[in-house]
Structure 1
Amino acid sequence: MRISGVACHVLKWPEPNDFNHERMTVLVRVETDAGIHGWGEAIAMWPEACRASVVLIEDGLAPLLMGRDPRETLACWQAMKDHTWWYGEGGIAALAISALDMAIWDIAAKDAGKPLVEYLGGAAHESLPACASLHVNQATIADSVREIAGHIEAGFQSTKLGLGKRGLSRAGRDPDYDVALVAALRSAIGPEAGIMVDAGNGTKWDLETAIRTVKRMEESGIAWIEEPFLPARVEDHAALKKAVSTPVAAGEREWNEAGYRRWLATGAIDVFGIDPARVEGVTGFRRSAAAIEAAGKTVNAHAWSSAVLTAASLHLSLAAPSAILFELKPLPGPMQFELVEEPFWHENGVVHAPNRPGHGAEPIASAIEKYRVG
């Protein structure tokens, strides 16, 4: 079996979980001469990054993969890494590698007739608890709590609150508001459901504000505080970890195993977010997760884009011993419920991988055409 073709699809859609703002991604379909194809994703997000990813895929990486056996996943991945040796320590190169590597693993698992998690060596978890990963964007605390509590009532076992997002909320821009929001939510959903707080890019805390705010949130029993600072502020991450009892999470903006190893050396993070559509694909995720788990830390898939990324992230999470939950966007959107015939969702609060060969996300041609912009 040999790789015989690569096609890129740039998609744009209104995302209900992001206050109906438009988001973008790049889906890649890899063909073989055996008639088996695979799908991958580069979560490039911005228009210029999507265009650049397509150029790297079509002009740089696809030609060197032609004629290769996709079942030789590591050799294909290494060939892409070798090709990008000058410009490829992260950035657009990592996005491009991610999409192709993900599709290649999909092909290899399909050829073996196995779900990806089995092809990876078997499941460490039969299922994972479902987490409603959302943006807080309602006008008032009462409105936000009502919406979030509804997701818990619908079966989600936990929720991750994205602060500083687009919408009507002051969340992420007023620490007192954030503390009151978490307290009100805890009161509404009771003591059992988990609450994670994702400070996010729109939240601009200095170290003192972060320490004070997280300590106040601890009274409501938050499970972790995520991305409290920009990644470059390593010392602040370490200082926050030392000052609070809440685990610190970060990593979704890292690019590869080397980046995670640098974070591990700081001792500043407890929960490591990994995005296989960003960290050089399934191969990059596995390598990064192995290093993280060897250090006794927790792996958490960042899977906030299309069903293709959700599929790969789910199989990788089920194969990762240290994964403790799986995040789903709680509001039905086109990239989850229109893109594929069998959307990924929870059943009684837990998420299972589909029992079909590959990662299990097969985009529908009409949906691709509906949302395609490049």
Structure 2
Amino acid sequence: MNKIVRVEAFPMQYPEPNNDNKIRYVTLTRIETSDGIVGWGECISQWPEAALAVKTIIDAGFAKLLMGEDGTQVGRLWQKMRNHAYWHGHGGIVSFAISALDIALWDIAGKAAGLPVSAMLGGTLMEKVPSCASVILNTLDLGALQEEFTSYRERGFSAVKGGWGQVPEAGFGTNRVRDMKVARTVREAIGPDMGMAIDVSALAKWSASHAATMAEDLLEVNLTWFEDALHHDDHDGYRQMKSRVPTALATGERCWTLHDYQRLVRSKAIDIILVDPGRVEGISGMKAIVDDALTQRVRFVPHSWSSAINTAASLHVYAASTNGEVFELKPAPSPMQHELVENPIEQKDGWIAVPNTPGLGITIDEKAVKKYLYQG
């Protein structure tokens, strides 16, 4: 029996080169069993207080719940954690904690079985997935923007996605004239056939009618999908947009649970959901969400913009599912993608290889964990 003997949580602080070296936060988990198997997980806690709060929830609650349990019984332990949270709820810090622990448990289960996680999820359906360079837009320097996106085409990415803005007040969606210049610049840089998505800054706070008008204007750049033009709960607004444009509409990266996504995909307003195992109660939560979306003919895109652990976990779910659209990847090397693991996940000629070794298929460098540990 792979009895759990240690559960640890590590808040992490690191500069993100893909976001002008702004400081970001994640919380990692490490679970060890009596047989010496170690599993790693992650949640995208994002803010310093959230990273520390996740550690508290794990250390004072979930760790005690998991100690002595068989670490390979992922489904039962996932449900045990969710049941434990009946009072403090689902979503927020609790879902972050469950996410990180569930991913680590899947890593253990795969290693114990000698199988990659995708095989444990019903079978590996593909060996590689199409790549999308996912970036924060430089909206204030169109020359630099064109050069940047030309490089993604030359590097062979299958698609590109840009959004928000390196300066918040100049984010995409805050100036209509500038928005159109940015979108045209990106399309010109990548050519007419490459996939392209735009992500609207939350600071834009568009009305449904304005979002629909912008979607009409953006038809000229032939978007593969238009993301977060409205809040994910504005189902009526998305339906209004859908009645006016054929462009695929996407949202969901701020949802938490299967129930949240069920409401979204049954709204008949969304074509693509954005989803991360590091937020939606782990691999268990993500697989349930994408399988449910498939029943409604809704596709998904892993919104993987944190560490290599979340990226690997997302790849396994994608490889075991049939409704993935494309896989987002940060294009510039970063500490949590390249220093954290000994075998970084990269794209080549438009494709990302799915790890095929037991568990998540990544090897954590614990020196990097110590280097970027955040203690508040």
Short-chain TM bin? over 0.9
How far apart, CA to CA, are the structure 2 residues paired with 1:321 and 1:263? 19
Q: Which residue of 2 aligns with 1:322?
A: 323
Deviation at 1:165, TM superposition (A): 4.5
Give the match for residue 108 of structure 1.
109
How much does 1:113 deviate?
A: 0.8
1:335-360: CA deviations, max 9, x gaps?
11111111100121101112211112
Whether contact under 8 Å (2:12, 2:51) holds in the other structure is no
Aligned to 1:302: 303
| Residue 286 (structure 1) aligned with residue 278 (structure 2) | no
SS of the aligned residue for 1:232 comes to coil
Q: Paired residue for 2:95?
A: 94
Q: Secondary structure at the match of 1:88?
A: coil
TM-score (norm 1): 0.96
> For residue 144 of structure 1, what is the amino acid of its counterpart?
L
Contact 2:127 2:353 survives alignment (8 Å): yes
What one-letter code is carried by the residue in structure 1 that aligns with 2:37? I
Encode CA deviations 1:311-366: one digit per residue, 9 max, x unaligned. 10111111110102111101111111111111100121101112211112222111
Q: Give distance in 1, aligned partners of 2:227 and 2:166.
A: 14
Contact 2:145 2:185 in 1 (8 A): no
CA distance in 2, matches of 1:203, 1:20: 23
* Secondary structure at the counterpart of residue 263 of structure 1: helix
Native 8 Å contact 1:134 1:330 kept in 2? yes
Q: Which moved more, 1:30-39 or 1:197-206?
A: 197-206
* Residue identity (%): 38
Cα shift at 1:242: 2.0
2:4 matched to which residue of 1?
3
Give the corresponding residue for 1:268: 269
**Separation (CA, whole Å) in 2 of partners of 1:136 and 1:187:** 15
User: Which string of whole-angstrom CA distances, capped at 9 and with x for unpartnered residues, describes residues 295-317 of structure 1?
Assistant: 11102111110111111011111
Change (3 A) 1:304 1:25: same
1:211 is aligned to 2:209: no
C-alpha displacement of 1:200 = 3.4
CA displacement at 1:293 relative to structure 2: 0.5
Q: 1:183 is matched with which residue?
A: 184
State how far apart, in whole Å, the 2-side matches of 1:242 and 1:86 are.
41
The alpha-carbon deviation at position 168 of structure 1 amounts to: 8.9
Contact 1:140 1:169 in 2 (8 A): no
Task: Give the secondary-structure state (helix, strand or coil) at the position aligned to 1:292.
Answer: helix
Secondary structure of the corresponding residue to residue 358 of structure 1? coil
Q: Deviations over 1:275-312 (max 9, x none)?
A: 10010001100111111011111021111101111110
Amino acid corresponding to residue 222 of structure 2 in structure 1 = G
Match of 1:82 in 2: 83
**3-state SS of the aligned residue for 1:53?**
helix
> SS of the counterpart of 1:219?
helix
For residues 201-234 of structure 1, the C-alpha deviation after alignment (integer angstroms, 9 at most, x for no partner) is 2332222221111111111111011111123323
**Which residues of 2 match residues 1-374 of structure 1 at below 5 A?**
1-137=2-138, 139-166=140-167, 171-374=172-375
SS of residue in 1 equivalent to 2:204: coil
Taking the aligned partners of 2:336 and 2:25, their CA distance within structure 1 comes to 10
Q: Partner of 2:197: helix, strand, or coil?
A: strand
CA distance in 1 between counterparts of 2:139 and 2:176 reads 16
Separation (CA, whole Å) in 2 of partners of 1:324 and 1:249:
11
Give the Cα separation in 1 of the matches to 2:309 and 2:231.
Answer: 27
Structure 1: gaps spanning 5 or more residues: none
Cα separation, partners in 2 of 1:269 and 1:168, compared to 1, 3 Å: closer
Q: Secondary structure at the match of 1:327?
A: strand
SS of 1:43's equivalent in the other structure is strand
Per-residue deviation, 1:149: 1.5
Q: Secondary structure in 1 aligned to 2:345?
A: coil
SS in 2 for 1:133: strand
What is the TM-score normalised by the length of structure 2?
A: 0.96
Rounded to whole Å, the distance in 2 between the matches of 1:309 and 1:350 is 18
1:188-207, Cα deviation, whole Å (9 max, x unpaired): 22112110111132332222
Contact 2:71-2:108 within 8 A present in 1 as well: yes
8 Å contact kept, 1:164–1:202: no
Q: CA deviation at 1:135?
A: 0.4
After TM superposition, which residue ranges in structure 1, 4 or more long, deviate above 6 angstroms? none
| Separation in structure 1 between the aligned mates of residue 35 and residue 167 of structure 2, nearest angstrom | 45
Check conservation: 1:305, 1:335, Cα contact below 8 A. yes
Q: Deviations over 1:85-121 (max 9, x none)?
A: 1222211111100000000000000111111111212
- SS of corresponding position for 1:92: helix
3-state SS, counterpart of residue 137 of structure 1: coil
Q: Distance in 2 between matches of 1:115 and 1:157?
A: 25
Which residue identity lines up with residue 199 of structure 1 in the other structure? V
Equivalent pairs counted in the alignment come to 374
CA distance in 2, matches of 1:321, 1:14: 35
- Conserved in 1, the CA contact under 8 Å of 2:340 and 2:364? yes
1:308 and 1:65 map into 2 onto residues whose CA distance is 21
